[in-house]
Amino acid sequence: MNDPTPVRTYLGVPLYRPRVAFFEFSSCEGCQLQILNNEATLLDFLSLVEVVNFREAMKERSDDYEIALVEGSITRGDETGRLKKIREKAKVLVALGSCACFGGVNQLKNRFGLDWVKKEVYGDSPIETEYVRPLEDIVKVDLKIFGCPVKKEEVENIIINIAIGKAIVHPKYPICTECKANENICLFDLGEPCLGPITRGGCNSWCPNSRFGCWGCRGPAEDTNIEQMKKIMKEHGFSEDTILDRLECFGGFSSYAQELRKK
For ligand SF4, which stretch binds (CB under 6 A), given 42-50, 52-60, 116-124, 189-197? 189-197
Helix (H) or strand (E) holding 232, with range, is helix 226-235
Q: Shortest gap between Cβ of 93 and ligand SF4 (angstroms)? A: 16
The total number of residues written for the chain in this structure: 263
Candidates 97, 134, 220, 251: give the one binding ligand SF4 (CB under 6 A): 97
Contact range with ligand SF4 by CB under 6 A, out of 35-43, 122-130, 133-141, 177-185: 177-185
Instruction: Report the alpha-carbon distance of residue 247 to residue 244 in Å, rounded.
Output: 5
The whole-angstrom separation of Cα 173 and Cα 76 is 35
Return the residue of 117, 186, 226, 244 that touches ligand SF4, per CB under 6 A: 186
Residue 69, interface with ligand SF4 (CB under 6 A)?
Answer: no
Q: Is 251 in the site for ligand SF4 (CB under 6 A)?
A: no
Burial of 58 (0-12, 13-18, 19+ CB in 10 A): exposed
Neighbours of 119 (CB within 10 A): 12
> Which strand (E) or helix (H) includes residue 237?
none
What one-character DSSP code corresponds to residue 176? H
Residues of span 109-148 touching ligand SF4 by CB under 6 A:
147-148
> CB–CB of 73/134 below 8 Å?
yes
By beta-carbon proximity to ligand SF4, the closer residue of 17 and 99 is: 99
Applying CB under 6 A, which residues contact ligand SF4?
Answer: 27-31, 71-72, 97-99, 104-105, 147-149, 175-176, 179-180, 184, 186-188, 194, 196-197, 199, 203, 205-208, 214-218
